[in-house]
Amino acid sequence: MVFNLGDSIIRNVSNFIIVYTFFSAFLYLLLFIISARKIKKNYSLDLKYKFEDIIESDFSPPVSILVPSYNEEAGIYASVKSLIDLQYPTFEIIIINDGSTDLTLPLLIERFDMVEVTRTIRKQLATNPIKGIYRSLYYPNLYLIDKENGGKSDALNAGINLSRYPYFCSLDGDSILESDAFLKIMKPILDSEEEIVAVGGNVQIANGCKIEKGKVLEIGLPKNILVIMQIIEYLRAFLMGRLGLSHYNLLLIVSGAFGVFSKEWVIRAGGYKKNTVGEDMELIVRLHRKIKEEKKKAKIFFIPQPVCWTEAPESAYFLKRQRTRWHRGLYESLWNHRCMLFNPKYGAIGIISMPYFLLVELLGPIIEFLGYILIVIGLIRGDVFIEYAFIIFLLAMLYGSALSMGAVLLEEWSQRRYSRISHVSKLFFYALTESLWYRLMVSYWRCIGFFQAIRGKKEWGHIQRKGLIK
């Protein structure tokens, strides 16, 4: 009787996993189709848009660029240097030194000839104490805040308080922007008839590229296989996932590495939340929530054209720390706003987007590993169905490797950043191998992150930088 019950449970769970895997594969395929159609319509190579009109327009809103920095001496100078040369009518750059223990602060003061100034700060958001405010003698639009350590969210809130302009951009201290990135990312704000609360830009990996003086001179691929797999992963996440969700205003995350926000909306929402490791996603979910609760017609947008280049971890140790933290952030964001889940009050966000991120993104790795465990149990018991194992394997290849290859194709179709055929061929080859090892490894780390979140772990997990951006 016990054995029959056990067999029944295993059979039912196995059937659930098969149905779930089919459903997940269908969703990923649907996102791919939506993204491909959107790229063909709006972002193809023959797109004609006079971005110089934005430079000359009197209606282009000024932007405050916030760069929270903690121990970023390896790449902060080049990152800031790239911002100074941006093509945009009016902007200010505010670097927030969040209690760095390395040479970040003195390096910035020396390189940009900064002097301490007195400036009124509107304390609209609570932050840790400010030690001093500096301004560059060479670049009048460049400011530096030196404050006590409080984490990235606290640093961004301090930058918002000091900022003067209606829109702000959050940018990681180890990243650089292409010179026309702001012309492109501000286009939806200028063109849309509806209010735009936030716009996310495309983030790509700088490892393997030739970079000098804060500019990407040549786009290349690194030799490190872990970084190559991350490049493929980023292409799939941004060109397929976020673009597809953005089309229906279902996007729940704008990367903390590169996004533009309405300062008014962020302040009304309470700024960045400090007690979370996923401050970027948590803010977007909270903004969606506020939009629905105030019954406003406002949108959160993603545009794949403007690119921010960032350094990716090259070792499995630091990659694991990053991915467990990301998954903890996903868990916290969904848990903190669980009242929205399946709630028609929040429209498609509550009925479609929140369940998608819960069932597919958060619980997906758990269910995937449960399937592998059942296969092992079946092999040990000698009653595993070959058909079941074969279906799981094929579907893993479908929504893993095949769709990753599709993301590479979307990149080649829309942007053609990788000019060498050998680079594209290499990306295709490694995308084909993704489900055989990389996906399994990252899914395992995400499972660890899930259980860390349940236990309440809050550690940020700083990533070691080599300073590729020079």
Instruction: Supply the mean pLDDT for the chain.
Output: 85
Report whether pLDDT(66) > 70: yes
Left, alpha or beta for 99 (phi > 0: left; psi -120 to 50: alpha)?
Answer: left
Which element (helix H / strand E) includes 448? helix 438-455
Per-residue model confidence as pLDDT tens digits over 246-285: 989 999 999 888 899 999 999 999 999 988 888 999 999 9
Position 394 scores a pLDDT of 66
Token readout for 55 is 């430079």
Position 48 scores a pLDDT of 47
More confident residue, 299 or 179: 299
Ordered alpha helix ranges (H), 186-249: 187-191, 225-235, 243-247
More confident residue, 21 or 254: 254
Quick check: 288 and 346 in contact, CB under 8 A? yes
Amino acid sitting at position 190 = L
Position 423 scores a pLDDT of 83
Token readout for 77 is 């100078």
Domain residue limits, the chain:
1-470
Q: What is the mean pLDDT of residues 116-131?
A: 90
CATH superfamily of 1-470: Spore Coat Polysaccharide Biosynthesis Protein SpsA; Chain A (3.90.550.10)
Q: What is the mean pLDDT of residues 370-394?
A: 69
Per-residue model confidence as pLDDT tens digits over 161-216: 999 999 999 988 778 888 888 888 888 888 877 889 999 988 989 898 888 777 78
Position 6 scores a pLDDT of 63
Cα separation, 12 vs 5, whole angstroms: 11
In residues, how long is the chain?
Answer: 470
Token readout for 99 is 């209690």
Cα separation, 460 vs 11, whole angstroms: 40
Cα separation, 98 vs 95, whole angstroms: 9
Burial 40-50 (b: 16+ CB within 10 A, else e): eeebeeeeeee
Position 28 scores a pLDDT of 84
The pTM of the full predicted model, rounded to 2 decimals, is 0.90
Position 220 scores a pLDDT of 87
Instruction: Map residue 113 onto helix, strand or coil.
Output: coil
Instruction: Map residue 181 onto helix, strand or coil.
Output: helix
Residue 122 binned pLDDT confidence (cut-offs 50, 70, 90): confident
Token readout for 358 is 């819960």
Cα separation, 148 vs 128, whole angstroms: 6
- Which residue, 302, 310, 314, 275, is CA-closest to 151? 275
Angle at alpha carbon of residue 352, lines to 346 and 358, rounded to 5°:
105
